């Protein structure tokens, strides 16, 4: 119920923002042919697409369409919105999912290692690395990586999800993965820093706690404490952060997909925004909101698995 | 079993940012603990009791300066020695119930203690179950998390963790604090049982009254110094057998005795730094 309200708010706000946008969808559609089209023809297109109705009527029509399971027609791709989203999402989820998983695993491991012995050489090295990446803008890092690995070294492809000029079906899995490496690595770097810092902070607190002192009294080593107690305790902040950053990851993927010309959902969002494709933009906004909400829902249920003190009965 | 010889302990603190000063927390403490004995260490808050436990375990905070000698089984107890003996020969029952990991079921925690004492995985699990059953914690309690246990039960889980280590010297830091009389007696009886098995037990408490029935000998500490070490039986009558005025005053202050707090006897003439 609350989820539906959230989605409705997201849709309404996005719609309002698009209405305020200075980009006229018909101008954007026509492009350079704008001068050759008469006002009558423009009015015809507007009528065809339903732009002549007042905004409130447009929105309510979109809503009633949505209730019957129809997301509308994307005029820039000339396809149903649901098709565009599902195609794009299949590519994006590969990029987003692997980047997210990589960030979570690497960030968590680095955080545990750094926090296990506060002030050690390893800790200082990891912290220094994390501070640097945490303060680096994603798109800049992406461009640097592109320059270094694709242009100078030539190890990686420069763009897209597969070689240009080859039909999508003919691209082998290996080639696809090859095209994924650089965007995934760059996107993962974005998430690693935050997860490492939070995991490390929890680990440092644990190492100073009565729990660690008691474990030391039992003859446990630092590694033992990090392995048995640390992983349990530090996974709470790591999970919170990982699922809460799903939205951020979507934002990051928009930039990354632009830089690497990767045809995913992020790129479609930018296209939809620049060319005022209202149904597509609304569809993507709804879909993203749904995705992030489900992520948070998963995080909430994972807490209960890890920390028995958080239970459903409590308000 | 354990002999403490002229132990001194100083901890650093900073008066201004850079001016380090040393606070003397334990000064010239000497006593010994025998196998099959409960040795009670009695003192008010800040007397240095818990620091004494940390010193014996070798778990002092960084920068602490300890002098004097500790002998365990006749050997000088160095820090490498302590590291090796922790969990095998030396066990600590900590004061705070926060020492239990809130995210781990009690049986698993006890089995970890058994693992750390050198038992293989399969044996440790079984040992943990036996130890917990020994302290009247049933299967249901063994599957519970620490926050689902009562204070007395959690205390018994901590005792079971010391028990599975098979350590010969067990230091119990305020084990009876915050428990109702029934639970307290259960915990103290468990310690007595450990001593009857031949283990040496150091019972750290501020509660002379509850320590006396199970203790064999008593060391009174005050402001980091050991005031007096005596047989527990010396605490009787008017306290004629007690050497120091402080111990006698402590004895008189008990409700069953004179219940007197003569200000001259108990007030401190020492500097206020604890």
pLDDT (tens place) for every residue of chain A, 315 residues total: 778 888 888 888 888 887 777 767 666 666 666 667 777 777 777 777 666 677 777 778 777 877 777 777 777 777 888 888 888 888 888 888 888 899 999 999 999 999 988 888 999 999 999 998 888 887 788 888 888 888 788 777 777 666 666 666 666 777 777 888 888 888 888 788 889 999 999 999 999 899 999 999 998 888 899 999 999 999 988 888 888 888 777 777 788 888 777 788 888 888 887 777 778 888 888 888 888 888 888 888 888 888 888 765 544
For B158, nearest residue in chain A (alpha carbons) = A214
* Interface touch A216/B147, C-beta < 8 Å: no
Contact A24, A276 (CB under 8 A): yes
Angstrom distance (rounded) from CA B246 to CA A294: 67
Angstrom distance (rounded) from CA B74 to CA B82: 14
CA dihedral (B174, B179, B180, B184) positive or negative = negative
- Both tokens of B221, joined, read 């500490």
| A5 within some domain | no
Residue given tokens 């459903």 in the structure block? A312
The structure's pTM equals 0.79
| Domain ranges, ordered by start, for chain B | 2-89+167-266
Angstrom distance (rounded) from CA A255 to CA A266: 7
* Interface touch A209/B98, C-beta < 8 Å: yes
| A314 within some domain | no
| A88 within some domain | yes
* Interface touch B100/A211, C-beta < 8 Å: yes
* Interface touch B101/A229, C-beta < 8 Å: yes
- If one counts the domains in chain A, the total is 1
Angstrom distance (rounded) from CA B233 to CA B213: 9
Residue given tokens 């009690």 in the structure block? B106
| A191 within some domain | yes
Decide if B202 touches A, using CB distance below 8 A.
no
> In CATH, what is the architecture of B2-89+167-266?
3-Layer(aba) Sandwich (3.40)
- Both tokens of B145, joined, read 């998390």
Decide if A213 touches B, using CB distance below 8 A.
yes
Chain A neighbours among B 92-121 (CB < 8 Å)?
A: 92, 94, 96, 98-104, 112-113, 116-117
CATH, residue A178: 1.10.3720.10
For A307, nearest residue in chain B (alpha carbons) = B103
Tell me the ipTM for this assembly. Answer: 0.84
Decide if A208 touches B, using CB distance below 8 A.
no
Element (H, E) at B161: helix B151-164
């Amino acid at each position: 119920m609350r989820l539906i309200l959230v989605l409705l708010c997201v849709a309404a706000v996005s719609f309002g923002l698009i209405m305020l946008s200075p980009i006229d969808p018909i101008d954007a559609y026509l492009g350079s042919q704008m001068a050759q089209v008469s006002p009558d023809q423009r009015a015809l297109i507007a009528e065809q697409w339903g732009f002549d109705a007042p905004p409130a009527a447009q929105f309510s029509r979109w809503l009633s369409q949505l209730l019957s399971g129809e997301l509308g027609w994307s005029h820039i791709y000339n396809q149903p919105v649901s098709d565009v989203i599902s195609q794009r999402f299949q590519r994006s989820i590969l990029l987003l999912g692997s980047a997210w998983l990589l960030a979570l695993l690497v960030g968590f491991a680095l955080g545990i290692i750094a926090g296990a012995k506060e002030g050690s050489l390893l800790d200082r090295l990891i912290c220094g690395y994390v501070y640097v990446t945490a303060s680096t803008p994603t798109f800049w890092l992406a461009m640097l990586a592109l320059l270094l690995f694709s242009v100078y070294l030539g190890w990686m492809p420069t763009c897209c999800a597969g070689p240009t000029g080859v039909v999508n079906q003919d691209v082998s899995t290996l080639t696809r993965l090859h095209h994924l490496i650089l965007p995934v690595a760059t996107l993962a770097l974005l998430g690693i820093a935050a997860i490492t810092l939070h995991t490390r902070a929890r680990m440092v607190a644990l190492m100073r706690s009565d729990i660690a002192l008691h474990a030391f009294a039992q003859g446990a080593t630092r590694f033992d404490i990090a392995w048995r107690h640390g992983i349990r305790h530090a996974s709470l902040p790591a999970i919170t952060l990982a699922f809460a950053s799903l939205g951020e990851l979507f934002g990051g993927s928009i930039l990354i997909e632009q830089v690497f010309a990767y045809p995913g959902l992020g790129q479609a969002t930018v296209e939809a925004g620049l060319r005022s494709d209202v149904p597509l933009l609304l569809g993507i906004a709804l879909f993203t909101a749904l995705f992030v909400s489900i992520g948070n829902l998963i995080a909430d249920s994972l807490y209960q698995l890890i920390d028995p003190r958080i239970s459903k009965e409590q308000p | 079993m354990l002999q403490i010889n002229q132990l001194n302990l100083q901890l650093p603190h900073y008066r201004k940012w850079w001016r380090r000063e040393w606070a003397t927390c334990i000064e010239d403490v000497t006593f010994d603990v025998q196998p099959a004995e409960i040795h009670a260490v009695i003192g008010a808050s800040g007397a240095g009791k818990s620091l004494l436990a940390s010193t014996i375990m070798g778990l002092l905070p960084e920068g602490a300066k300890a002098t004097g000698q500790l002998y365990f089984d006749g050997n000088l107890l160095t820090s490498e020695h302590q590291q090796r003996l922790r969990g095998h020969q030396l066990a600590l029952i900590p004061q705070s119930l926060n020492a239990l990991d809130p995210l781990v079921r009690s049986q698993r925690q006890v089995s970890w203690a058994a693992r750390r004492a050198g038992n293989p995985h399969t044996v440790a699990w079984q040992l943990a179950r036996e130890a917990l059953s020994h302290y009247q914690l049933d299967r249901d309690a063994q599957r519970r998390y620490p926050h689902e246990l009562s204070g007395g039960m959690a205390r018994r889980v901590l005792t079971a963790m010391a028990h599975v280590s098979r350590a010969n010297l067990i230091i119990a830091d305020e084990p009876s604090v915050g428990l109702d009389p029934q639970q307290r007696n259960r915990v103290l009886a468990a310690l007595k049982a450990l001593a009857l098995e031949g283990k040496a037990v150091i019972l750290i408490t501020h509660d002379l009254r509850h320590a006396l029935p199970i203790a064999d000998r008593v060391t009174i500490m005050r402001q980091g110094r050991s005031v007096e070490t005596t047989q527990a039986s010396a605490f009787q009558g008017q306290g004629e057998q007690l050497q120091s005025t402080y111990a006698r005053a402590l004895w008189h202050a008990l409700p069953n005795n004179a219940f007197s707090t003569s200000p001259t006897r108990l007030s401190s003439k020492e500097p206020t730094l604890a």
